[in-house]
Structure 1
């Protein structure tokens, strides 16, 4: 039915699609600015409950704004510098929207708020509210109305804090998005011309990719009206929109060419392409969308953002491939053909490679598996941790601020763990016990400051009253050492929570929030992995009627992704690629990024698996040849898969030059995963596995075979059909 529609009214369809593109473009124009960079927090966690208690009952919280005060000469104890520091603390504390502020110059302030050589000191502030408001409104206002007027030739002031860091990260990702647009579009256009050797099919395929990307961004703009959507989702939508739009466009045009070469008239070729190849595109789209939709199983806006982006990208790419592109092909007709089409059934490189592998499947397959496992081996050393300012290049001012804090301060005061007690009790003994935990530098409380189990002085900034609530209750600040914070912050949080308290307590603060986020991510991994496998199994079963082929595909896809994770750990966590790409390794990996990459990588791997199995199964159904159908199917699909993989990998690789390490990880990891999947997996391991399985490749229990006979769908090979006497659309 869809095929008939696009052949009867192609111009009308293109006109309506063009109008839709304009609407989506208007929405997409404001999409990047409407998106945000979510905080790392786990809804319903103990740390968020502690944050709420601190805000409501004590009027304070973890400092999310910081200002580094640096005298041009002398120390922070000089009268002129101290006057600036005190004024900054006072004005910041009274600035509208700021809930609390303290500094090195506050009464009873700890010495750790200054550098060991007294060349720097910190002013800290707690600014309540959601991340968008703090980053978009309050931080620029604080910089313009408080910091800039107080900065002098004698004293330099640098704005920082977690929200300032991620505000700059969001700005950098937006800049990278614009640069990627300028590079990806002409790059993909050039690669498409090299693939087709004709300008017309290259342009319509590129238009399909642009339609998918722009429409997906427009959809994200609408979604952002109702929920938080991460800035990084726009970067992924751009690359995947163009990549999948081009991917599906290549598949449709390759099939259309085959139908024309087989002798069909243009109208019949379009209908056959939509009817047969369209099924494969839908199967592939469902697989990719499902792989990303499972991110909704995580109760975190950051990861959910990529589920929205993935589903939007797939929906728009499938629409472009099955509606917009066929209408254009109906008008282009035979102009999409090369001047010299390859001979059908020609035995090229991929045919000979698959045939050679199938002669020695154990040796070839074993070698391929060994190479993948060796390259993926470093993944065993993964160490999950939280992101910080080192996501940014060292030339960024806020990054330079924290380089100075790490190098010259005893520890980072903003990373204190906060323990909130509902009742006001004598917490002296409890504070002393907390201070004896390995990795705790100091504990501040209403009972005073404690270190190594002994009271060392008065309470922290502003005295005991800061730690007491008017309606009863108290809280304690547990300051980690720099070493424990860098090496095992989640373990320290667990130690604090495990210590018996005199009354029920809630443990929060930035280290606890990150630990709760990490635990929430890790806890859901089995569920997400299981959902992906089940969904892709069902899709591949419906396409092939086999229970063996989906299991084999899942195993091979996991093998291909081990390389990506190995490079992620070796290249980014351990710094193997730091010199080449210009980032600073932290020795840890932010946990949500590998999960995101797994879902994208798994979906794209299944995308290629669907294309490959569709051709092999169609050949097997037509000939019944278990062995010969594999190299023939690979030979027919390999040019398509190789071209699509090259274009998608090149699109992802553009982000290797990003100024944000997370985007570099995505760019390098996904480009590598796509290339490995399209070469080692499809060229070596697939034919080896299918040779070993033999006729069992297409086996299913009798009940499932009967089910597939009723509801299964598969692509069919083009049959020859006499050309009509006249084909006006090809003129």
Structure 2
């Protein structure tokens, strides 16, 4: 039969590259302009931030919660006490001794004159400020800042220096509070540590300074622009101080990983005989598509944080999304431009690290699997059911410690023993009991009462009921505001701030103790303070977490369905990613227990897990897990479309991405592990958890569980109902590698591109 689609003698129309391929061609040929454009973008971002940027701020209170209402009432009726407090603890043989009293009074007078200090309460006139044994006293400084992050570190250090100068043998003085903890924590250059580790891994992987330098250069460019834009984000959203650190590390890791994938593919095309320009176009038209899909999954995961309804989580999500967007932008424009300068010299400046070959491509662009990957894949195929059961069992075992997790927020009791904040915590616990480190603040609005007598009656009943409640160590006398329409009562629990009994006490006060008083008198009473705020935050996140998980998983599955036109792949990917994240939660829970595991990273005492840690980790890790899934499955689908052989597709996928995923995972592990030396317990835990998750995902999941499951499912991996398949758009995430290597095909047409 004669083909009539093309007239005899007419030249077949050259296939055109996809949009990414055409963008790569433009960037390659206009490389100088691309570099100038990115330099101008960096200058513009820096200038806009300098002119309009905001400061980091965070409010961990849960909107509409009882603790939030207590804080609002405290701010409105007791403005002099609404600022961030600093605790001053003094220990001596007898703090009531006249000489000691003179020294303490002099110190407090001096502290009151320092910047941002509005008042210093006299402990000798404050009921309950001196311990029963007379050896410890507690005074409180009030600052004019609402959040600890707003206090200049230099001014906090001045306060610490004044306290140090007042110490003498026999007179111990320590300062505590969140401002003190922040100043003592200092700054840790985790980004630098991560970059150095990544550079070493890249050098070992490629054995060439030029090839290793490209991912680092692109990642740094993206980091520079995204970091410059952080101030603008902070002007529009509440951005916590830890968000830029996390976004920077994620941006570095993703930037290096994405360009690592594309450098590997570029070297494959060069080894197959393509010139640098055509290799660049082919790289972006194949591996670049995987990068876009992978980046989209990370963005979807971060968008899930908006479902939590917390302003600081939304700010953290936006900062991270900006970093990811910049990574994608530099990977698809700046990287091909740099190849225009360095593509011919990709293997120059080789190091004596042994032979570093690339994966071989056969005619048509498919991977020629090496002996090692062939043996590995055949072994998995032979024992696929055992591999699936064993992998799942191991992941569930790693997740087990998470079942006993205590949710809360690490406090000064988890700080290093040499810190002033830790010394304050211990001295207060020894002198006043553990509950004094986390008092519950009961704030009463007396205005709704019908008259002053009714308000006073409500206050008296409230104080009596609070003092008679089991688990309450002491109740301070009610403190009226100047207008007399509000009262503040400090309730000291018998248990510490992180103790489950304290949480039970707060719930009992709200449910059983306070309602009879308010119902009878009409007064409004709320339980607040740091401990109560943490309880409310944890409860609120627990209620919203299913929205985050369900939304992110559903959208990610839809994205994979569109990308790979398969029902099984999205389902298995979601299940495996959830197992991987659960295993990382178990690792975090284990190190937070202290003991031998916590001691390895400097966590000596058991600490609770802040509720935002698993939430943030889920959003980040689910996206990163999907990254590796896209890298692996796109190469498998590439082979499946060409051969229709499921076993060969698995072998080709492992051969084409195994080394890349291993190197990328090693970089990710190194980057996130750079958080471990941080003095902050939360950052330590997140660093360990994310490093462990990447390690687990790249080894147990991607290199074992995924191929084993695909061997078990066989051709069902690629099945989709015909009706659905016809309606799905063709994304071609694997690209068309055969076009670039098949000599029977004409060279792809680079429409609209000046070849000069």
TM-score w.r.t. the length of structure 1 is 0.87
Rounded to whole Å, the distance in 1 between the matches of 2:224 and 2:606 is: 35
Q: Give CA deviations for 1:541-584 in whole Å, capped at 9, x if unaligned.
A: 12101122111101111111222111111122343323222223
Q: Is the 8 A contact 1:630 1:687 kept in 2?
A: yes
1:416 equivalenced with 2:439 (yes/no): yes
Q: Secondary structure at the match of 2:140?
A: strand
Q: Is the 8 A contact 1:658 1:664 kept in 2?
A: yes
Residue equivalent to 2:405: 382
The alpha carbon displacement at 1:93 in A equals 7.0
Moved more, 83-92 or 200-209: 83-92
The alpha carbon displacement at 1:540 in A equals 0.8
Q: Is the 8 A contact 1:560 1:681 kept in 2?
A: yes
Q: How does 1:91-240 map to 2 (within 5 A)?
A: 101-107=120-126, 109-110=127-128, 113-115=129-131, 117-127=133-143, 129-131=145-147, 134-136=150-152, 140=156, 143=159, 155-169=171-185, 171=186, 174=187, 176-177=188-189, 180-240=190-250
Q: Secondary structure at the match of 1:655?
A: coil
- Structure 1: any 5+ residue segments left out of the alignment? 447-465, 725-731
Residue equivalent to 2:500: 487
Rounded to whole Å, the distance in 1 between the matches of 2:624 and 2:222 is: 16
Residue among 642, 647, 659 paired with 1:622: 642
Q: Is the 8 A contact 1:86 1:106 kept in 2?
A: no
Q: How does 1:304-315 map to 2 (within 5 A)?
A: 304-315=314-325
1:502 equivalenced with 2:517 (yes/no): yes
Rate the CA distance shift 1:103–1:357 in 2: closer, same or farther, 3 A.
Answer: farther
Residue equivalent to 2:88: 68
Rounded to whole Å, the distance in 2 between the matches of 1:282 and 1:671 is: 23
Rate the CA distance shift 1:444–1:399 in 2: closer, same or farther, 3 A.
Answer: closer
The alpha carbon displacement at 1:199 in A equals 1.6
Rounded to whole Å, the distance in 1 between the matches of 2:293 and 2:151 is: 41
Residue equivalent to 1:42: 62
Q: Is the 8 A contact 1:76 1:82 kept in 2?
A: yes
Rate the CA distance shift 1:193–1:319 in 2: closer, same or farther, 3 A.
Answer: same
The alpha carbon displacement at 1:394 in A equals 2.0
The alpha carbon displacement at 1:396 in A equals 1.9
Q: How does 1:590-629 map to 2 (within 5 A)?
A: 590-629=610-649
1:329 equivalenced with 2:339 (yes/no): yes
Instruction: Provide the alpha-carbon RMSD of the alignment.
Output: 3.1
Count of residues in correspondence between the two structures: 694
Residue among 569, 572, 590 paired with 1:552: 572
Residue equivalent to 2:463: 431
Q: Secondary structure at the match of 2:441?
A: strand
Q: Is the 8 A contact 1:101 1:125 kept in 2?
A: yes
Q: Is the 8 A contact 1:115 1:410 kept in 2?
A: no
Rounded to whole Å, the distance in 1 between the matches of 2:439 and 2:119 is: 15
Rate the CA distance shift 1:435–1:194 in 2: closer, same or farther, 3 A.
Answer: same
Residue equivalent to 2:535: 515
Q: Secondary structure at the match of 1:502?
A: helix
Residue equivalent to 2:277: 267
Residue equivalent to 1:705: 725
Q: Secondary structure at the match of 1:114?
A: coil
Residue equivalent to 2:360: 343
Rate the CA distance shift 1:242–1:141 in 2: closer, same or farther, 3 A.
Answer: closer
Residue equivalent to 2:12: none
The alpha carbon displacement at 1:348 in A equals 3.5
Q: How does 1:562-577 map to 2 (within 5 A)?
A: 562-577=582-597
The alpha carbon displacement at 1:142 in A equals 7.4
Residue among 356, 368, 375 paired with 2:391: 368
1:79 equivalenced with 2:89 (yes/no): no
Rate the CA distance shift 1:443–1:195 in 2: closer, same or farther, 3 A.
Answer: same
Q: Secondary structure at the match of 1:158?
A: strand
Q: Secondary structure at the match of 2:274?
A: coil
Q: Give CA deviations for 1:638-681 in whole Å, capped at 9, x if unaligned.
A: 11111111111111112222222222112221111111111111
Q: Is the 8 A contact 1:28 1:215 kept in 2?
A: no
Q: Is the 8 A contact 1:45 1:516 kept in 2?
A: yes
Residue equivalent to 1:676: 696
Rounded to whole Å, the distance in 2 between the matches of 1:96 and 1:208 is: 43
Q: Secondary structure at the match of 1:477?
A: strand
The alpha carbon displacement at 1:277 in A equals 1.8
Moved more, 59-68 or 499-508: 59-68
Rate the CA distance shift 1:375–1:690 in 2: closer, same or farther, 3 A.
Answer: same
Rate the CA distance shift 1:401–1:710 in 2: closer, same or farther, 3 A.
Answer: same
The alpha carbon displacement at 1:330 in A equals 2.6
Q: Give CA deviations for 1:178-197 in whole Å, capped at 9, x if unaligned.
A: xx344332322221111112
The alpha carbon displacement at 1:284 in A equals 0.5
The alpha carbon displacement at 1:483 in A equals 4.8
Q: Is the 8 A contact 2:370 2:655 kept in 1?
A: yes
Q: Give CA deviations for 1:144-164 in whole Å, capped at 9, x if unaligned.
A: 897578667774543322332
Residue equivalent to 2:9: none
Rounded to whole Å, the distance in 2 between the matches of 1:153 and 1:306 is: 46
Q: Is the 8 A contact 1:69 1:85 kept in 2?
A: no
Residue among 441, 453, 457 paired with 2:473: 441
Rate the CA distance shift 1:579–1:270 in 2: closer, same or farther, 3 A.
Answer: same
Q: Is the 8 A contact 1:614 1:714 kept in 2?
A: yes
Residue equivalent to 2:750: none
TM-score w.r.t. the length of structure 2 is 0.85
Q: Is the 8 A contact 1:239 1:652 kept in 2?
A: yes
Rounded to whole Å, the distance in 2 between the matches of 1:198 and 1:149 is: 55
The alpha carbon displacement at 1:84 in A equals 3.4
